[in-house]
Homo-oligomer: A and B are copies of this chain.
Amino acid sequence: MTGRWNTLQLNRDARLRRAQQSLGTQLVGKILSSERIVDLLHAVIESGDRVCLEGNNQKQADFLSSALTGLDAGRVHDLHILQSVLALPEHLDIFEKGIASKLDFSFSGPQAGRLAKLASSGKLNIGAIHTYLELYARYFIDLTPRVALVAAQAADRFGNLYTGANTEDTPTIVEATAFKAGVVIAQVNEIVDTLPRIDIPAGWVDFVVEPPTPHYIEPLFTRDPALISEIQVLMAMMAIKGIYAEYQVERLNHGIGFDTAAIELLLPTYAASLGLKGKIARYWALNPHPALIPAIEAGFVESVYSFGSELGMEDYIRARPDVFFVGADGSMRSNRALCQAAGHYACDMFIGSTLQIDLQGNSSTATLGRISGFGGAPNMGADARGRRHASPAWLKAGQQARAGKNQIPRGQKLVVQIVETFREHMHPAFVETLDAWQLAEQANMAIPPVMIYGDDVTHILTEEGIANLLLCRGEEEREQAIRGVAGYTPVGLARDQRMVDNLRDRGVIQRAEDLGIDKRLATRDLLAAKSMKDLVRASGGLYQPPKRFRNW
């Protein structure tokens, strides 16, 4: 081949040669000594490269990320960074230093404010904000990485990788890069003779480095039951009786937060008392939430497939292989791409919280001065219109949406937004206009960043009740149904009381009492665990919460 059709391979060969020349005996097979990492990056990264940096919800290739900041911006600049989660300050330092200039990503949580500043200063050009699976999808179409910087638990001398429980994005990133003549560099916590299992074959990996300290993992899915309020208990009761039981929801995903943690902790108590064991919440696409332990122990949960893992849950998962997906070594294999596909196509319901909901039911966590992205919510909280298999929940939601319309029958995913009408600092959750509009203008986005669109939302649940948007006929009813559960927010106070009463008569709005729920029972006594210690106890001592959650 002369180079007309194999420029990527020839270019890759040149990069690998440069690495050999630059590193000499500091490179043994694929293994590099960690103090030479910047030299390796200088050798294999070229200006303008698309570089996929592994930053997940939890696992961070932090050593490689920090090494990137050490590049000489005179030699390497204008990198186009692909990264699902920007969690660490160094993720943005490379833009400040002029090493990178473009970013495609999914979520930026703690860095959202600084990201917005860099974007408006012109130092960082945002390609787009994606939901996770969408970003991975582009790795195979128009955003294929030239270089991937990933993290694993261990490697052997050949370069085989063991990811341990936090497999997450690694296999997908490596597959996209390795099979288009890219360069794959992995940081691993240890190099061993024999791996507990192989998650990624050595042939897909070019370089392995063992940093002085293990990679960072964020315990993102732990919620202390002590912080769950009685309002959240009441909302959880309404969710279980008014939605889970009503639609027979067997397969589901829970968003992160205290609202859904409350539901998880009410399964073995309140839901069990309603005779729902074995009837709802059997199959999950979910990180291993500690709050799910009591429901698992009660036999409520048959299977949990996970996007990533959760710190402290390792021994518990290992001891519950009937429930979790684990390898022959006993530790979990999570896979974010496949779990997002599962959440999209194999779940009947997504339920999660948000910051703002407008009168059409559009919701967003985007607020002024912060560009945070939405992670998995858009993928999970969208009707999966390619879905063709039926379930009672899906059929019933579809029937409600299409009743009285001249349309061919079709099912629909349940997408539930669960929010208290006022959030922290008395900010109303219901607004006339989303901050997303202003943010779009500020940040020069093509359209406002909406997390979940109103026409995908089926229910809004607040402490005031449930609004079933599937049953609304027309925009006006939809607006009043939303106002009718918006409590004492300005949006709620501006309701048309007669229309709201009518919607309640028709069951479009349901209050706790309409569901036969006695509000006096909505106390913390219903929680299957009231503290972190209770969760540890429920796990038989197998769950070992990270220090910051240990208050005893």
Interface residues of A (CB under 8 A from B): 1, 5-9, 104, 127-131, 133-134, 136-138, 140-142, 144, 160, 172, 175, 178-181, 197-199, 201-203, 250-251, 282-285, 303, 305, 319-323, 325-328, 333, 335, 337-339, 341-342, 344-347, 358, 360, 362, 374, 378-390, 395, 398, 406-411, 434, 445-450, 453-456, 475
Contacts of A389 in B (CB 8 A): 104, 127-130, 134, 138
Are A342 and B141 touching (Cβ within 8 A)?
yes
- In the complex the two chains form, is B385's CB within 8 Å of A137's CB? no
- Whether B408 pairs with A453 at a CB distance below 8 angstroms is yes
Known: A134-B387, A180-B325. 11 other contacts (CB 8 A): A8-B322, A131-B386, A134-B345, A134-B386, A134-B389, A175-B338, A178-B328, A379-B386, A388-B449, A390-B446, A409-B447
Chain B: CB-nearest residue to A453: B410
Give the nearest-CB partner of A413 in chain B. B385
> Can you give 9 contacting A-B residue pairs, CB < 8 Å?
A131-B386, A133-B345, A142-B303, A142-B346, A179-B325, A379-B386, A385-B385, A408-B447, A408-B450
Given the contacts A137-B344, A322-B5, A175 and B335 also touching, CB distance less than 8 Å? yes
Partner of A385, one of B305, B341, B407, B456: B456
Contact B138 A346 (CB under 8 A): yes
B5 touches A305 (CB 8 A): no
B contact residues around A175 at 8 Å (CB): 333, 335, 338
Contact assessment for A131 and B406 in the assembled complex, using a CB-CB cutoff below 8 Å? no
| A128–B390 touching, CB < 8 Å | yes
From B131, B172, B179, contact of A327 by CB (8 A) = B179
Q: A138-B346, A335-B175 are in contact. Are A409 and B448 (CB under 8 A)?
A: yes
A338 touches B7 (CB 8 A): no
Which secondary structure characterizes the binding site on chain A? loop
| Minimal beta-carbon separation of A206 from chain B (angstroms) | 10
* A362 contacts across to B, CB distance below 8 A: 408
Q: A134-B389, A141-B303, A320-B5 are in contact. Are A172 and B342 (CB under 8 A)?
A: no
Q: Which residues of B contact A475 (CB under 8 A)?
A: 406
Decide: A201 and B198 in contact? CB cutoff 8 A: yes
CB distance from A368 to the nearest CB of B (A): 17
**For A140, what are the chain B residues with a Cβ–Cβ distance below 8 Å?**
285, 305, 325, 338-339, 341-342, 346
A341 is contacted by which of B136, B446, B456 (Cβ under 8 Å)?
A: B136
- Chain B residues within 8 Å of A449, by CB: 388
Chain B residues positioned under 8 Å from A335 (CB to CB): 175
A385-B385, A406-B475, A408-B448 given; A6·B333 CB < 8 A: no
A473: min CB distance to chain B, Å: 16
> How far apart are A340's CB and chain B's nearest CB, in angstroms?
8
Alpha-carbon separation in the docked complex, A378 to B345 (Å): 12
Given contacts A130-B388, A344-B386, A345-B133, contact A203 B327 (CB under 8 A): yes
A448 to B388, CA, bound (A): 10
B172 close to A338 (CB less than 8 A): yes
* Of A160, A321, A339, A434, most B-chain CB atoms within 10 Å: A321
**CA of A130 to CA of B409 in the docked complex: distance in angstroms?**
16
B141:A305 contact, CB within 8 angstroms: yes
Q: Which residues of B contact A385 (CB under 8 A)?
A: 378, 382-383, 385, 453, 456
Residues of chain B within 8 A (CB-CB) of A388 are 128-131, 134, 374, 378, 449
Q: Are A386 and B395 in contact (CB under 8 A)?
A: no
